Amino acid sequence: MANPRKIIIDTDPGQDDAAAIMLAFGSPEELDVLGITTVAGNVPLSYTSRNARIVCELCGRTDTKVFAGADKPIARKLVTAEHVHGKTGLDGPVLDEPTMPLQTQHSVDFIVETLRSEPEGAVTLCTLGPLTNIGLAFQQAPDIIPRVHELVMMGGGFFEGGNITPAAEFNIYVDPEAADIVFRSGVPIVMMPLDVTHKLLTRKDRVKRMADLGTRPAIAMVEMLEFFERFDVEKYGSDGGPLHDPTVIAYLLKPELFKGRTCNVEIEVKSELTAGMTVVDWWHVTHRKRNAQVIRDVDADGFFDLLIERFARI
Ligand code: RIB
Ligand code: CA
């Protein structure tokens, strides 16, 4: 591909975030990672900014610029998910502490500066965690919103309900105010909710194909996924756990794997009971603005074929 698509990955690694980043690094002809911006989410910011660099080093991509961003949500106390991801957020493999540097610039400033300096429509935002950095960037510099090509995000849930409360998915639940800013902003959104990620299970046969690659990155990824899936296997009684974040990158590489429709999506920010719920008007029963392409179906085998084929390149 002549000109790879320019992307910024905003992330709270997280084993499934690591899989998404590895998928992007395995696709250099199609994707140019301008930077990785970290945010507090699965684990505190000190760990997410550590983990992003560990993944870069694991993939031999120490040329990547990694930034630290918001250490808490816009208007709430931080809620983390060590119960799923382990204390470090990247539990599973034994990996060295990173030696590559963390950039001194704040994630939000990098996002604003990059969108202002790159040609209009040149940059895609790929979000894998709470939307705090994006919400702050849009608040601080609304002029960048029309400059975004599109925002592809993992978050939310509707028919599938929630995973951190009965109503809310974790990324949105952590920072509903940031999500509300983003969904009201007018930025073109492609949303990967639990409704699609729960169809992508790290089944034993799929993890074995990854292990059979035999490379250090693939083995480390297998160890990450085997740790990460245990919570959901227990909860859902399934063969493997849902692999959430790589859907964002897979969509950029092979959008034909996915199916959905453009709907209105609004975020609950008031009710304690349903805080962070993504209210999806799937049946268009209102005349509210259809502000997001909501993905509900995926070719799961095609997704894992792509993932494993790209992991093999690292
Ligand atoms: O609910 C799943 C999402 O929350 C994923 O992005 C996972 O990494 C966690 O951040
Ligand atoms: Ca994540």
Tell me the CATH number at 239.
Answer: 3.90.245.10
The low-confidence residues of the chain, meaning pLDDT below 50, are: none
pLDDT of 145: 98
pLDDT of 45: 98
> What CA–CA distance (Å, rounded) separates 98 from 217?
15
In terms of Cα–Cα distance, which of 168, 247, 240 is closest to 206? 240
* Domain span holding position 210: 5-311
> What CA–CA distance (Å, rounded) separates 123 from 115?
7
| DSSP one-letter code for 295 | E
Amino acid, res. 158 = F
Q: What is the Cβ-side half-sphere exposure of residue 152, based on CA atoms within 13 angstroms?
A: 23
Task: State whether the beta carbon of 242 lies less than 6 angstroms from ligand 1.
Answer: no
Question: Facing residues of 143 across strands?
Answer: none
Q: How far is the CA of 10 from the centre of ligand 2 (A)?
A: 9
Ligand 1 pocket: which of 245, 249, 277, 278 to mutate (most atoms within 8 A of CB)? 245
> What CA–CA distance (Å, rounded) separates 59 from 61?
5
Would you say 263 and 284 are in contact if contact means Cβ atoms under 8 Å apart?
Answer: yes
> What CA–CA distance (Å, rounded) separates 162 from 116?
35
pLDDT by residue (tens digit) across 71-105? 999 999 999 999 989 999 999 999 999 999 999 99
Question: Phi-psi category of 307—alpha, beta or left, where left has phi over 0 and alpha has psi -120 to 50?
Answer: alpha
pLDDT of 1: 52
Would you say 252 and 105 are in contact if contact means Cβ atoms under 8 Å apart?
Answer: no
Task: State whether the beta carbon of 43 lies less than 6 angstroms from ligand 1.
Answer: no
- List phi, psi (to 5°) of 50: -70, -50
Q: Positive or negative CA dihedral for 126, 311, 229, 259?
A: positive
Helices of type H across the chain: 15-25, 45-58, 82-85, 107-117, 132-140, 170-174, 176-184, 194-197, 204-211, 216-236, 246-253, 300-311
Closest listed ligand to the CA of 154: 1
Radius of gyration for the chain, computed over Cα atoms and rounded to the nearest angstrom: 18
The one catalytic residue among 85, 198, 244, 284: 244
**How many other C-beta atoms lie within 10 A of the C-beta of residue 257?**
20
Closest listed ligand to the CA of 81: 1
Is-catalytic flag, 244? yes
Q: How far is the CA of 156 from the centre of ligand 1 (A)?
A: 10
Task: State whether the beta carbon of 109 lies less than 6 angstroms from ligand 1.
Answer: no
> How far apart, in Å, are the Cα atoms of 51 and each of 13, 56, 127, 218?
6, 9, 16, 16
Task: State whether the beta carbon of 129 lies less than 6 angstroms from ligand 1.
Answer: yes
Amino acid, res. 28 = P
- Residue identified by tokens 């990450």 is 224
For the chain, how many structural domains are there in total?
1
DSSP string, 46-60: HHHHHHHHHHHHHTT
Task: State whether the beta carbon of 246 lies less than 6 angstroms from ligand 1.
Answer: no
pLDDT of 235: 85
Compute CA 26 distance to the chain's CA centroid, rounded to the nearest angstrom.
Answer: 16
Tokens of 86: 């382990």
pLDDT of 112: 98
